[in-house]
Amino acid sequence: MTTLIDGKATAALIKKEIAKEVEDIVAKGGKRPHLAAILVGHDGGSETYVKNKVIACEECGFKSTLIRFEDNVTEEELLAKVDQLNKDDDVDGFIVQLPLPKHIAEQKVIEAIDYKKDVDGFHPINVGRMSLGLPCYISATPNGILDLLERYNIETSGKKCVILGRSNIVGKPMAQLMMQKRYPGNATVTICHSQTKNIKEECLEADIIIAAIGCPNFLTADMVKPGAVVIDVGTTRVPDNTKKRGFRLNGDVKFDEVAPKCSFITPVPGGVGPMTICSLMKNTLAARKKLYYK
C-alpha cells in the first residue's frame, strides 16, 4: 500500500499552529511577526511564489511587505535596500527572491543580508551553523521535507538516503540534515548528480530518495526498489494546452509508474511545495521570538 504524503494538508495544519501562537503573542501585547520580500523583475515562477508567501503571511497573522524592483535595478540600489531592511527594527526577517538578473551577483546579495534576519537560511553563517547542527535558520525546502518525514513518522535512522541534485538550496543542505544525529536524520547519505556514473544502481539501493535534480520524470520505476520512500522536489513548468495557464507543474519523478512501488511518496503539486512556504513562516516566527539569535 502506498501512502500519499499530503504536503498541502500538513502545511495548512502547521500554519494554523503558527497563527494560534501569533495570536497568543499579540494578546499579551507583543508585536506581530513581520516578513518582507524583495522581488526583482517579473519572472512567472517568482511572481507566483511571492504571491503565495503574502497569502501565507495573512493566514499566519503576520505583517508582510512586498518591495518590487524592475529588471534594470542596479546592484548598488538593491544592496542599499537590503541594508535598509537590515536596520529596520520592525522587520523580523526578509528574503530576496531568486533568481536575480544576470548583472547582479546573487551571492553578494545573499551575504549582504543580516544573518539574524536571513529567514531563507542562505547566508554562509546559517549554512555553516546548520552543517554543525547548531541552532539557525534552515533553508525552507529541506526544512519542509524534514517536517513531512517527521509528521508521517517515516523511519530515517540507519536508512540509505539518496539525494538527486547538489544545489546549495536543496541538495547540499538536505544531505547535511539527513546525516545529523537527530530525527529525522541518522541516515547514510549519497548525493548523485549529473556526473554520477551509476545513478540507477545507487537509487535501487536507497530506502529514501529525495529527487531535486530539476529534470522532469527523471526517476523511473526501474530505479526504485519496492517499499522505498520518494520525496519529489521537482517543479518544472511543462507546456500543457489543457490547462488554463498553458502549463502544468511536473516533478522529477515519473509519478504514475513509481508510486505503486513506494511505501510513501509526495505528489507534484501538493507535496513539498506548500511545505517550503510553511517553513519560511516558521523561520519568520523564530526570528520574531529571537529563538536562534538575540
For the chain, percent of residues with pLDDT exceeding 70: 100
Q: Is the pLDDT of residue 237 over 90?
A: no
Cell of 89: 527594527
Q: Would you say 284 and 119 are in contact if contact means Cβ atoms under 8 Å apart?
A: yes
- Spatial distance between the Cα atoms of 236 and 217, rounded to a whole number of angstroms: 10
Give the predicted TM-score (pTM) of the model: 0.94
- Spatial distance between the Cα atoms of 175 and 36, rounded to a whole number of angstroms: 29
- Spatial distance between the Cα atoms of 230 and 5, rounded to a whole number of angstroms: 10
- Residues designated as active site: 53, 97, 120
Q: What's the count of helices (H) and strands (E) in the chain, helices before strands?
A: 10, 11
Per-residue model confidence as pLDDT tens digits over 31-48: 999 999 999 999 888 888
Q: Would you say 282 and 56 are in contact if contact means Cβ atoms under 8 Å apart?
A: no
Q: Would you say 159 and 151 are in contact if contact means Cβ atoms under 8 Å apart?
A: no
Q: Would you say 119 and 292 are in contact if contact means Cβ atoms under 8 Å apart?
A: no
